Amino acid sequence: MRRLWLLWLVGVAFLGGSLALSRARAADRTALPVYYIATTQRVMALTFDVSWGETMLPKVLAILAREHQTATFFLSGPWSGSHPDLVRAILAGGNEIASHGQQHVNLSDVATNAIANNIGAADTILRGYTGRPLQFFRPPNGDFDGRVVEVARGLGYETVIWSIDSRDWMNPGVSSIISRVTREAFPGAIILFHASDTCKQTDIALPTVISDLRAEGYRLVTLGELWAMGPAMRDDPRGSGRKPNTAAGQVSGASSTPAAGATGPYSPSSCPSPPPNAVHTATT
């Protein structure tokens, strides 16, 4: 009898531990950002990060207007505060704005209160343009840990990374940008471009990217529009050779999926380096 009693206790403890582990894993998953949306519709979100400069963005906006295309712009707080006319031009074109934070630093390297201050400072500036809360936050350099995701959510933001990196920040050549985006396209993907001045080829590649994707039956929308088309997915497909939301779900490429956290093989360099005189922190 005593042996049966001990076995029962061990079983209960094991079951309790398994349930606790399962809950912990589920909780950990909520502390991951979003990489794409689960949908089989041939729709993708077109997004741009902007942290410095004033030359590339007007070119991008002119292309979008000419193509009758809208996009989501992740704007840094200091840049938005010092370029009100450009922020208003983004909104006037029917585009969506989102937060790219305040100081352009890797948030996984700073204290939790500094994460909150970074997101909060940018929020104050950006709300001045919209008059309402913003929905999406993309951390500088795409760098994050669980604290970043949780703090952002506590401030009303959903943390969104990307599933397709145009790598325009590397200035790899126009044909390279075009082929990379079109080759990696899949339904529900979130595409990363930049409209900062250190990117020299974005405006040249963008018209062909738009036309080629349309020719393949894709429609490009804002992140907010894509968000309404299906569940937000938190598994990182980048570098895995996998195309979610497709029948096969696999393409040729790297065989392993990046580990969760920071942003796999793209962190922390997925953003163009600022010029030496660029301003990243609030001046107030």
Query: For residue 234, which phi and psi values (nearest 5 degrees)?
Result: -110, 10
Inter-CA distances, 59 with 27, 93, 110, 166, Å: 43, 13, 35, 17
> Which of 143, 194, 203, 236 is an active site residue?
194
Provide the token pair at 233.
Answer: 């997915």
| Alpha-carbon gap, residue 82 to 225, rounded angstroms | 28
104 is annotated as an active-site residue? no
| Alpha-carbon gap, residue 238 to 264, rounded angstroms | 8
Inter-CA distances, 132 with 92, 118, 136, 227, Å: 16, 19, 13, 18
Q: Where are the beta strands (DSSP E) in the chain?
A: 36-37, 43-50, 72-75, 96-99, 136-137, 158-159, 164-165, 190-194, 219-221, 232-233
Element of type H or E holding 121: helix 112-130
> Which residues fall within 8 angstroms of residue 133, CB to CB, at 6 or more apart?
127, 156
185 secondary structure, DSSP code: -
> Which of 49, 123, 143, 165 is an active site residue?
49
194 is annotated as an active-site residue? yes
- Catalytic residues, by residue number, are 49, 194
